[in-house]
Structures are given as structure tokens and as C-alpha cells.
Amino acid sequence: MSQPTETQQAMAHQSSEQRTIELVMPRGHTVAVHAIGSGQPIVLVHGFPLDATIWQRTLGPLVARGYHVLAPDLHGFGKSSAIEGPVTISDLAEDLEHMRRVLVGDQPIALAGLSLGGYVALEYWKQYASHLRQLVLSNTKPFADSPAARQGRLDMGQRALVDSTWSAVSPMLPKLLSQRTLENDLETTAQIKAMMAAVRPTTIAAIQQAMADRHDFSGELSMIHVPTLVITGEHDVISPPAENQEWAARIPSSQMHSIAGAAHLPMVEAANDFNQALLQFLN
């Protein structure tokens, strides 16, 4: 009798219990994939400087609606292996495709990306559009950086290497969370701070470089024919609602949703509203 393939083994272990699968990528590094549930596959890609636990409040409602959720720690983040050389957003999209092939076989996926995760999701669309069922672009943007924003990224990377991750990334905290969360939800604030501070300095530098070099999708939005949900937070200054409205309108089959009261991380700050918008779109 032939041995079960890696895909068959992964499918046989789908369950309502969360598990972490360590996948060795073709380029040799390991990507940790947090997996839960069974049914239609959906991939959730975290933002910067975070990891897959940012989706913790999204998992239960997706599993209850019959989704097989895969939330990878991108290369360099969380439980995935450290980055040892240059990495590109395209490399991160290739990792997602390897994960899809190994864990769900031929099935197309719904793909949701938060901010950096949105850059990776757009790159995935560029390379593998036919493998996508639906696309969710959360708190992200399709265009490239201004020269000043680009320089800011390179400075942040240097600061992380020379000083520490926290000294480099702490100015981002008041942009990630709304004033209301920072003042009243100390537990969530502490979780986000811990997640940020835990990112390796080498990851901060390599991923800032990758984001600075990312592809500009502004001229390709009209070619995105996969059903797309563009979602942001009312108080998001990194990906503001008015700006989202403008570029989302250029994606033919898109809808846009702004989450009241939230800033850059609506999946933690306004989890119920975020989950409702996500499920309504997916279904």
C-alpha cells in the first residue's frame, strides 16, 4: 500500500482543535502554520510587526461556519524560522502557495491579509489568481511608498538592529490601536505590545526592506476580478477609510467596509463587527 502524501496526512488531521504545523519551504526555512477547523480553506495573513495570534478572535466564528483556517507566521515572525538573507514580498507569497499545495491540495482559497498581509495577498493574486476564491484586503494599501516613507522603513530596520525591536517599533503602537483601546483595554494593549516586542530585530530590518521594495498595484486594481472585501478601521491613520474608498472603487467586484471605533487592528479592537463583516462577505 502506498504511503499517504503530506497533503492527505494534513487533511486527515483537520479538527476543531488548534494545532501548529511546521512546514519546510522549498527555500529551506520553516513556516509555522496555525490550523483549525475543517471545510472551505481560508488563509489569514498577519501584519507587521505582529504574528498569527492577531487572528485569535477570528478563528472561532470561522470554524463555527465551516471553515478550515490556516494562519501562518510569515517567514521571520512568531514560530517560523529566522530570516537569514534578503526576502521579498513575492517570496512570502510563494511560501503561501507552497502551504496551500501541501495543506489543502488543489482547492482554491479565500485569502485575507492585514496590512503587510495585504501586500502579500496582492502579490499572491498577481502570481496565483486562479487559486483564489475570495480576497480580503484589511487595513492595507495597494500603492508603493513615498521616498520619505521608504527612508523611514530603512531607518526603523537599522534602529532595530543597532538598538532593539521595541525601540524601533514602539512609535507604531498609537497608530495600531485606537485611543479608546489604549486607555481602556489594557489587556489587549499589553498583548499587542508583547507581540510587537517579540519580533526578531533581523525580521524588522528584512521585512521593512521588503515592504520598501514592494510592487505598486495601483495600475492593476481594475484587473482584480476575484470577489474582494476591502476593510479598514474608522480611526486607521495607516490605511484611512477615505483613501480605501478611492482605491477599492477601482476593483471591479469589491465592497468596502469601515469598522466603527477601530484603528489599524479591527480584528482585535472590534472583533464582533470585524467577524460579522468577514462572514457576511465570505458567505
Q: Which residues bind ligand MLT (CB under 6 A)?
A: 47-48, 115-116, 211, 238, 264
| Nearest CB to ligand MLT, comparing residues 116 and 221 | 116
| Nearest CB to ligand MLT, comparing residues 48 and 67 | 48
Q: Which candidate, 118, 119, 143, 130, places its Cα nearest to that of 229?
A: 118
| Nearest CB to ligand MLT, comparing residues 232 and 275 | 232
| Nearest CB to ligand MLT, comparing residues 68 and 257 | 257
| Nearest CB to ligand MLT, comparing residues 42 and 211 | 211
Per-position DSSP letters for the chain, written without gaps between them: -PPPPHHHHHHHT--SS-EEEEEEPTTS-EEEEEEE--SEEEEEE--TT--GGGGHHHHHHHHHTTEEEEEE--TTSTTSPPP-S---HHHHHHHHHHHHHHHHTT--EEEEEETHHHHHHHHHHHHHGGGEEEEEEES--SS---HHHHHHHHHHHHHHHHT-HHHHHGGGHHHHS-HHHHHH-HHHHHHHHHHHHTS-HHHHHHHHHHHHT----GGGGGG--S-EEEEEETT-SSS-HHHHHHHHTTSTTEEEEEETT--S-HHHHTHHHHHHHHHHHH-
State in angstroms the smallest separation of the CB of 105 from ligand MLT. Answer: 29
State in angstroms the smallest separation of the CB of 129 from ligand MLT. Answer: 22
State in angstroms the smallest separation of the CB of 253 from ligand MLT. Answer: 25
State in angstroms the smallest separation of the CB of 46 from ligand MLT. Answer: 8
State in angstroms the smallest separation of the CB of 40 from ligand MLT. Answer: 26
State in angstroms the smallest separation of the CB of 32 from ligand MLT. Answer: 18
Query: Measured between alpha carbons, how far is residue 186 from residues 189, 192, 193 in Å?
Result: 5, 10, 10
State in angstroms the smallest separation of the CB of 2 from ligand MLT. Answer: 43
| Nearest CB to ligand MLT, comparing residues 105 and 240 | 240
| Nearest CB to ligand MLT, comparing residues 199 and 211 | 211
State in angstroms the smallest separation of the CB of 274 from ligand MLT. Answer: 15
d(CA 175, CA 145): 17
d(CA 265, CA 118): 13
| Nearest CB to ligand MLT, comparing residues 31 and 116 | 116
